[in-house]
Structure 1
Amino acid sequence: MSPARNQPNECAPERRTIRQDDAIVEASWCYFHEGMNQNEIAARLGVSRATVVNYLAEARRRDYVRVTLDTQIFLNHRLAERLRERFGLQQVLVVPSASDEPDRSYDRVARAAADWLPHLLEPGDRLGVAWGETISRVADAAPRQPIDDLTIVQLVGSRPAAMGFAAETCAAALAARFSANLSNLHVPLLLSDRDLTERLKEEPVVATQLDAVASCNKVIFACGTVDDDSHIRRTGLLTTEELARYRGEGATGVICARLIDANGAPIPTEIEERMIGVTLDQMRGKSLGLLVASGRERVPPSRAAILGGYATHFATCSDTAQTLLGD
């Protein structure tokens, strides 16, 4: 036996990988473009039906395939029309709720908002991105769709947050999906001293980043709750006792770590002068203020955000929409 035949074939694993990649693409094309069923694809590829199922699942996991529904369907939903008329919004998107699975409804709204967002953006836009679980879900679900000359701007300073909900993570994820420029805000959200906060804001690099925050023409955000399990409490910005006190003063929602009452008016907090990030005044008057919300607990804060003039567009589910309308 020759020495060459004794050597392991180092190219074999690579060839197997290439063949499998080709099979995944072929299965996806046959299923989604040619309308073949899984048995037909299995016969064409010479594999089992279970393998075809795995190929299609892998194609979705790799983002080779993205199945979307026409956004116009959800914009024309009767509940969307009623919300638009009731609250004077420009556009409302309502997806059907999975009433027995609130978290599934939450995922549906995040996915629908992610599919809708690129249609609301244009080259040259500066999109301000908030933080938290809702915005994180939208960013993770966003399509890979380059948008020319788009800048993604982090709206609030950094603060430790579980599971990738931090402001810089949300902004970076959306920038990657849209192949956009990224303007981070390289400062803590909350500092220990007011004078230090003011000095840091005056640093040239930070001042430039804050100018980017102020000049966003579009924003995407969620309005958080003020209950004991809220994002603002879990990130340590306010304690349970402090939140209870502000609820007593009328606090209903949270936008970018700042409290609002039931009509959307600001409720100043003790930490206000020590925070670095977008202000409530800067969140108003945008050509796009996309509010994303799902769940009955998000109804009071969402109503507050809409009444306060922070939202021009709203993505939600049918249960949340009906509760907002008082149905």
Structure 2
Amino acid sequence: MSIMQSLIEIQQKLLPDLLVVMKKRYLILRQVMLSDMIGRRTLAASLEITERVLRAETDFLKSQGLLQIEAGGMRITEEGKKLLDEMEPLYQQMFGLSDLEERIRTRYGLKQVVIVPGDSETSRHTKRELGLAGCAVLRKHMEKDDVVAITGGTTLAQMANQLTTQTPLKGNWFVPARGGLGESMDYQANTLASTMAKRTGAQYRLLHVPDHLGEEAYTTLMQEPNVREIVDVIRSARIVVHGIGDAMVMARRRRLDATFIEALQAEGAHAEAFGYYFDRTGTVVHRMPTIGLRLEDIMATEVVIAIAGGSSKGEAIAAIMQFGHDDVLVTDEAAALEIAALLDREAAISTT
């Protein structure tokens, strides 16, 4: 055990209130930094604390030169940004996120787990940070001339809109993992692939076909040379970045009929990823004819990165991790705590 870890444990025992104050002030600084400029009322609502308590804390942080308070709101100073950078590893140790990352990584046999503080379901700032963490992971794994396949969704959109690289990726390709969902263009895989390519100087290919196809339509489209060509590129991807959804939510978004949704429920569908539905054990219970990545392609892909968060996603994320073909999970504190609760229940059942 390091000296720092020993000091943290001593502090937790002797001065627990101090840790509460440190966490509160850290979160205030982090939210202000993510917002660029934010008013006190909005900040209090996002952190779920009263304006009176927040005023006292921000006045203190201002007195330390960490915050700048103006008529239009408050912003973090350069000194505040520097302090946040220095505190990041300490925060992870103090509040158990490092231990939680390791516990989830070990349980599901992952190469890496990254947990950002907060709940992306209730905080747009946490969702933004989840996207930033996904960008960092992708940059770490990308190599020259890689093909990267991307699914759609709001979290992946956050990632796409923040992805940057120091040098243009002229030989790299971004491609959609599948066709569109028929929802907002902002969140479709085609849009996100083109956004990522444009922001990094890479190239991209698009797949202009529906996501949900009947068997006859699927067979017909796969015989088209242009479609076949882009599908071959997609299935050659070395890296896949995907989101994770609740099975019933995703079925409704795809406008599947009530009878089909009832059948999914009867099959125990609990989570959805890359067009497949999984039960709690990570077993595929339904696959849709979809032009793009197939399950066998995912299983053969060198690097598979899952990005999903929010307290309601914990069980769905756990189900996909049970499938066992992801390498990296990027999630938030709320989802990770739900996953930890599931692991606790697993352990309790195994000992009875």
- 1:258 partnered with 2:280: no
Per-residue deviation, 1:260: 1.6
Cα 1:244–1:107 shift into 2, 3 Å = farther
Which residue of structure 2 aligns with residue 118 of structure 1?
A: 139
Cα shift at 1:179: 1.3
Structure 1 pair 120–241 and aligned structure 2 pair: CA distance change class (3 A): same
User: Which residue among 302, 312, 315 is the counterpart of 1:300?
Assistant: 315
Alignment of 1:244-283 (within 5 A): 244-268=262-286, 272-273=288-289, 275-283=290-298
1:172 to 2:190 alignment: no
Measured in 2, the distance between the counterparts of 1:99 and 1:179 equals 29
Q: Aligned in 2, Cα 1:226/1:268: closer, same or farther, shift over 3 Å?
A: closer
What is residue 176 of structure 2 aligned with on the other side?
154
The whole-number CA distance in structure 1 between the counterparts of 2:121 and 2:178 is 35
Q: How far does residue 50 in structure 1 lie from its aligned partner after superposition?
A: 7.2
Once residues 121 and 201 of structure 2 are traced to their aligned partners in structure 1, the CA distance between those partners, rounded to angstroms, is 37
Q: CA deviation at 1:99?
A: 8.9
1:135 equivalenced with 2:135 (yes/no): no
Check conservation: 1:90, 1:313, Cα contact below 8 A: yes
2:108 pairs with 1:87: yes
Partner of 1:31: none
SS in 1 for 2:315: helix
Gaps of 5+ in 1: 1-35, 40-48, 57-67
Is 1:323 the counterpart of 2:334? The answer is no
Q: CA deviation at 1:170?
A: 1.3
SS of structure 2 residue aligned to 1:284: helix
Q: CA deviation at 1:169?
A: 0.8
Equivalent pairs counted in the alignment come to 267
Asked if 1 retains the 8 angstrom alpha-carbon contact of 2:310 and 2:334, the reply is: yes
In structure 2, relative to structure 1, the CA distance for the partners of 1:115 and 1:279 (3 Å cut) is same
Aligned Cα RMSD in Å?
A: 3.4
Give me the whole-angstrom Cα distance separating, in 2, the residues matched to 1:217 and 1:79: 28
Matched, 1:200 2:221: yes
| Alpha-carbon shift at residue 86 of structure 1 (Å) | 1.6
Pair 1:313 & 2:335 matched: no
> Residues 232-267 of structure 1, C-alpha deviation per residue, up to 9 Å, x if partnerless?
42232x234422321221101111222122222222
When normalised by structure 2's length, the TM-score is 0.66
Larger Rg: 1
Name whichever of 94-103 and 315-324 sits farther off.
94-103
Q: CA shift at 1:96, angstroms?
A: 1.3
Q: Which amino acid aligns with 1:312?
A: D
Amino acid at match of 1:198: T
**Residues 147, 79 of structure 1: CA spacing in aligned structure 2 closer, same or farther, 3 A cutoff?**
farther
Q: TM-score, normalised by structure 1?
A: 0.71
2:253 corresponds to: 234
Structure 1: distance between partners of 2:121 and 2:211: 37
Match of 2:208 in 1: 186
In structure 2, the gaps of 5 or more residues are 1-64, 77-83, 345-352
* Superposed CA offset, 1:92-130 (max 9, x none): 111111599444433321222123321221112111101
Indicate yes or no: 2:118 matched with 1:97.
Answer: yes
Pick the aligned partner of 1:109 from 100, 106, 130.
130
Aligned in 2, Cα 1:126/1:95: closer, same or farther, shift over 3 Å?
Answer: same
Indicate the structure with greater helix content: 2
Shift of residue 78, structure 1, vs aligned partner: 2.2
Matched, 1:243 2:261: yes
